[in-house]
Chain A
Amino acid sequence: MHLDPLLGTTAEIVEAVRLREVSALDMAKLAIAAAEAVNPRINAFTEITAERALAEADALDTRIAAGEPVPALAGLPYAVKNLFDIEGVTTRAGSKVNRDNPPAVSDAALVARMKAAGALLVGALNMDEYAYGFTGTNEHDGDVRNPHDQSRMAGGSSAGAGAAVAAGVVPLALGSDTNGSIRVPASFCGTFGLKATYGRFSRAGAFPFVTSFDHVGPLARSARGLALLHDAIAGYDPADPVSARHPLMSCEAALEEGGDGLRIAVAGGWFRQNATSRALAAVDLAARALGVEREVELPETRKARLAAYVLTASEGGALHLDRLRERPDDFEEETRNRLIAGALVPGAWAMQAQRVRRWYREQVLALFDTVDAILTPTTPFPAPAFGTSTIEIDGATLPLEPNIGIYTQPFSFIGLPAVSVPVWLEGERMPYGVQIVTAPWREDIALRIADTLEREGVAEARVAMMEE
């Protein structure tokens, strides 16, 4: 166990609570104190649910003392992006409009499953408005700041989740990922992040954005933490219309198999373009550690990404049409303009994008006949400074925000599982994310590779040492 229990990994904390080296109540108090101390500097939390965390902890300690079985995530403090329903709290989804809604009458499915698994909910986390952004900026709640350098962005849209984990407030947080919104903050903040196969985690009670792309899932300080979380709360839920009945396997048990024998390739073509040399160096470092020599090319990824862009705009705009009609002044200007434009997309454009989506998925799935996993950069560059609107890559000046998700978007578009691992290059002050993509339902393989990189010392989720 780490000297500071809160800085232990997910597995270490659960084990310490199980052995009664630390009580759940102590863990809750530590996390609440950390959130209150750190939040003024990083603005990760929009609500600290201290009363709930203490009550959950007290109930858990009573059950453990009575000799009841210790649940899988016993005493684990965590927080959730504020698009998840929390009983008694209004689900704002980063917006001004939604905060006029009544408090949620019940927990989102994953929050309820976390509670049943013994985890302690410490709070709700800041995000981009309606999850439509990659920067973690928010006019209503203020911008989330990167714990490793507070002049930089945390990445979005699960910005508070990345920041809270990287700051050491919680070892694990839940976010959502439509085009990269778990993996981007994981990359910018230096945490591990899992976007599982579409349909693997229940989205019931999570405010949607683009329902045919929307995933929910964890960010954590270790690959094992992601595996533990997966095993505890993944699986079928009839309340989510796209939830899948696909058989579950234990990802934690799979970690014992290590990375040997896996056929891994680096993605070429699109995934070697428009990235800084250092982002590519992080991928190459991981590839060397894994003994990877093969490169594969995913066909027409540029056009697939553009198809994802068209569908995101169209579905997102359609979702918000009533709010755009009734309360347009209560949106951020940029969100409103994007959503209105999306609401006007002709059906023929969206239908062609859907056909390309199906075609692209079939092309990419065929690659998994000969490889088990594909490595790419998670983002083309590390966390940018606030106020940055363009980025220089290979002598070209590119607009910042449209390029943040160019490597994550192609995979959420077709529902494939992906894990982002944090890599620190020598001489760099900020982390780089490396993305591991696998075939549907093979989260176990992605997590095995992530865990191997962690054991090899290539991937590491450092807790930020924030100066007073």
Chain B
Amino acid sequence: MQQKRDVMQTIGVLAETVGVSVRPEWRDGVAAHFEAIANAADEVATVSLPQTAEPAWRFEA
């Protein structure tokens, strides 16, 4: 419950920051997707890469 409230608060702050409205009736749906992305990002973060690992997708001179 605490976690859900935290997600709702996070979404509220971020949505205000980027200037989109999340109406009360949309919150559960947006929160479900945001949590799924957060869980995915957590797992992606476990891939251990050196600090120098290049993030650029394409680099052609």
Q: Would you call A313 an interface residue if the criterion is a C-beta within 8 Å of the partner chain's C-beta atoms?
A: yes
**Residues of the A chain whose Cβ atoms lie less than 8 Å from the Cβ of B15:** 340, 344
Complex: how many Å from CA A309 to CA B42?
Answer: 12
**Residues of the B chain whose Cβ atoms lie less than 8 Å from the Cβ of A356:** 44, 47, 49
Chain A interface residue bracket vs B:
35 or more
> Is B40 a contact partner of A310 (Cβ separation < 8 A)?
yes
Q: Would you call B55 an interface residue if the criterion is a C-beta within 8 Å of the partner chain's C-beta atoms?
A: yes
Interface residues of chain B: helix, strand, loop or mixed (majority): helix
The proximity string for B residues 19-61 relative to A, scoring 1 for CB distances below 8 Å and 0 otherwise, is 1111000100111111011101101111101000111111000
Knowing A337-B33, A344-B14, the reply to whether A352 touches B41 (Cβ < 8 A) is yes
**Residues of the B chain whose Cβ atoms lie less than 8 Å from the Cβ of A300:** 47
**Residues of the A chain whose Cβ atoms lie less than 8 Å from the Cβ of B10:** 344
The distance from the CB of A402 to the nearest CB of chain B, in whole angstroms, is 8
Knowing A212-B57, A310-B40, A310-B41, the reply to whether A343 touches B49 (Cβ < 8 A) is no
The distance from the CB of B39 to the nearest CB of chain A, in whole angstroms, is 8
From B14, B18, B44, A310 is in contact (CB under 8 Å) with B44
Query: B25's closest neighbor in chain A, by CB?
Result: A333
**Residues of the B chain whose Cβ atoms lie less than 8 Å from the Cβ of A337:** 26, 29-30, 32-33
Q: Would you call B8 an interface residue if the criterion is a C-beta within 8 Å of the partner chain's C-beta atoms?
A: no
The distance from the CB of A255 to the nearest CB of chain B, in whole angstroms, is 29
**Residues of the B chain whose Cβ atoms lie less than 8 Å from the Cβ of A303:** 43-44, 46-47
**Residues of the A chain whose Cβ atoms lie less than 8 Å from the Cβ of B45:** 349, 352
Knowing A303-B46, A313-B37, A337-B33, the reply to whether A354 touches B56 (Cβ < 8 A) is yes
Q: Would you call A429 an interface residue if the criterion is a C-beta within 8 Å of the partner chain's C-beta atoms?
A: no
From 313 to 330 in chain A, residues with beta carbon under 8 angstroms from any chain B beta carbon are 313, 321, 324-325, 328
The proximity string for A residues 335-357 relative to B, scoring 1 for CB distances below 8 Å and 0 otherwise, is 01110111111100101111111
> Is B29 a contact partner of A334 (Cβ separation < 8 A)?
yes
Q: Would you call A358 an interface residue if the criterion is a C-beta within 8 Å of the partner chain's C-beta atoms?
A: yes
From A242, A324, A341, A352, B37 is in contact (CB under 8 Å) with A341
Complex: how many Å from CA A352 to CA B49?
Answer: 9
> Is A344 a contact partner of B18 (Cβ separation < 8 A)?
yes
Complex: how many Å from CA A334 to CA B38?
Answer: 18
The distance from the CB of B33 to the nearest CB of chain A, in whole angstroms, is 4
Query: B23's closest neighbor in chain A, by CB?
Result: A328
Query: A212's closest neighbor in chain B, by CB?
Result: B57
Q: Would you call A306 an interface residue if the criterion is a C-beta within 8 Å of the partner chain's C-beta atoms?
A: yes
Complex: how many Å from CA A354 to CA B54?
Answer: 8
Complex: how many Å from CA A351 to CA B57?
Answer: 11
The distance from the CB of B17 to the nearest CB of chain A, in whole angstroms, is 8
From 272 to 318 in chain A, residues with beta carbon under 8 angstroms from any chain B beta carbon are 300, 302-303, 306-307, 309-310, 313
From A212, A341, A343, A349, B44 is in contact (CB under 8 Å) with A349
> Is A343 a contact partner of B20 (Cβ separation < 8 A)?
yes
Knowing A303-B46, A341-B37, A359-B53, the reply to whether A328 touches B58 (Cβ < 8 A) is no
**Residues of the A chain whose Cβ atoms lie less than 8 Å from the Cβ of B38:** 349
The distance from the CB of A215 to the nearest CB of chain B, in whole angstroms, is 14
Knowing A333-B29, A345-B37, A358-B53, the reply to whether A306 touches B20 (Cβ < 8 A) is no
Besides A341-B34, A344-B15, 7 more A-B contacts (Cβ < 8 Å) are A303-B47, A333-B26, A340-B33, A342-B37, A349-B38, A355-B53, A355-B54
User: Could you jot down 17 A-B contacts, CB within 8 Å?
Assistant: A300-B47, A303-B47, A313-B33, A325-B20, A328-B21, A337-B32, A341-B33, A341-B37, A342-B37, A343-B20, A349-B38, A352-B47, A354-B55, A355-B53, A356-B44, A356-B49, A358-B53
B residues neighboring A (CB under 8 Å): 10-11, 14-15, 18-22, 26, 29-34, 36-38, 40-41, 43-47, 49, 53-58
The 9 closest A-B pairs by CB, nearest first: A341-B33, A337-B29, A349-B41, A354-B55, A344-B14, A306-B40, A341-B34, A355-B53, A355-B55
